[in-house]
Amino acid sequence: MNSEKIVVYPGTFDPITNGHLDILRRGIDLFDRIVICIAANPAKAPMFPAAERLEMIQEALKEKGLNGQVKVETFDGLIVDYAQELGAIALIRGLRAVSDFEYEFQMALMNRHLNSHLHTVYLMPKDEYTYLSSSIIKNVARHGGDIKRFVPAGVERRLIAKYNNPEVE
């Protein structure tokens, strides 16, 4: 029996932030293998195409020296099916504030209904990332604010390039 503990970190990652990377590091401490899964949330219209989000994550992992430990993939389907294909034991998610709770609770219970063997593990990011989200980063970048502390260098570069190009909006 394979006892390697594989977990999936799913999300939209539009774009990845240092808060996501903080969760990832905590996951690395706990599990043998982590696969980041860029999945679709039908309620969102991402700014970056999935292939570019994947590229940004790969760059960030390289920048932080985590590329040997973490794999990134995109998947269009139910996250429980993806996790099962991979032989994952759990999904990991970040829990930032009480406001995340209801949505996360709903998703965790639905995923458990779909696959009762798959756990969801919640990890809390460093307090300085508690109020971070991809939307707030895009909003600050749109107005030329400094986002350096909150995102990997490649993400900052791409956001600046996007907002300097009037065709983006």
Q: Active-site positions?
A: 20, 44, 96, 134
What CA dihedral angle connects 118, 49, 99 and 119, to 10 degrees? 10
Contact between 21 and 64 (Cβ < 8 Å): yes
Beta bridge partners of 98: none
Residue 74 lies near ligand COA (rule: CB under 6 A): no
3-class DSSP assignment, residue 139: helix
List 30, 51, 110, 153, residue binding ligand COA (CB under 6 A): 110
119-158 positions binding ligand COA, by CB under 6 A: 125, 129, 132-135
List 20, 53, 70, 72, residue binding ligand COA (CB under 6 A): 20
Residues that bind ligand COA (CB under 6 A): 10-14, 17, 19-20, 23, 39-41, 44, 78-79, 94, 96, 107, 110-111, 125, 129, 132-135
